[in-house]
Amino acid sequence: MPRESYQDQLESLREDVLYMSEVVLERLRMGLDALARKDERLAREVIEGDDEINRMYLDLERSCIDLFALQQPVAGDLRFIAASFKIITDLERVADLATNLGGYTLQAERDVFPEVDIQGIGRFTQEMVEDAMDAYADNDTDGCYAIDERDDELDDLCERASETVVRDLIESELDAEDTDQLMADVSRLLLTIRDLERVGDHAVNISARTLYMVANDDELIY
């Protein structure tokens, strides 16, 4: 009976991690939506909801520590708990980046450089996190490698977006009154691109930990 209870705890941990990922992804969607629509109410909802994510993270952290301390897991179970512990850390940081999007929404007074497809980059990163969590749920090692390969594409998208912002800034004709506002807008846009790129990095981290969990393979951990 104790062994059955232990296995139930492991399964509950997996379910709770997956639930946390669903909440975090919803916050990321909300942050991108708020940014697209300049929706201050939605932006504040994302920002204020970060406390819920933090509480969820701490609860799961305690669950992992209890399993380490009380059950003394070995081999595959040890890797599963350790990977889950690292994955919730990445999810919490994705939630922080979603909160940043809410903050950028509150700062934004106008659209600049509409040719930069922030929403397209955002959707790309969402899909990376979704697929990384699917790989975790299904013990899918092929999916882990696929996420790592897609990160190069994301990096290229972000680099080209940043280059577009800088090029257009150099080519723009400014007067003294516009300079301060434009520089603030440019800074916000570049920070948005950087944060979305970091979301993709966390998706790769999740895949790396999943690969280690399933196959005892640390190839993607760096």
pLDDT, tens only, 100-124: 999 999 988 777 788 899 999 999 9
Structural domains in the chain? 2-215 (1.20.58.220)
Per the CB < 8 A criterion, the answer to whether 112 and 182 are in contact is yes
| pLDDT 10s digits, 55-76 | 999 999 999 999 998 888 888 9
CA 219 centroid distance within chain: 21
- In three-state secondary structure terms, 1 is coil
d(CA 33, CA 104): 12
Neighbours of 59 (CB within 10 A): 12
Whether residue 179 has pLDDT greater than 80: no
3-state secondary structure (DSSP) of residue 175: coil
Residue 2 pLDDT exceeds 60: no
173 pLDDT more than 70: no
Query: In terms of pTM, does the model score above 0.75?
Result: yes
Cα distance between residue 196 and residue 216, in whole Å: 29
Cα dihedral across residues 157, 158, 159, 161: positive or negative = positive
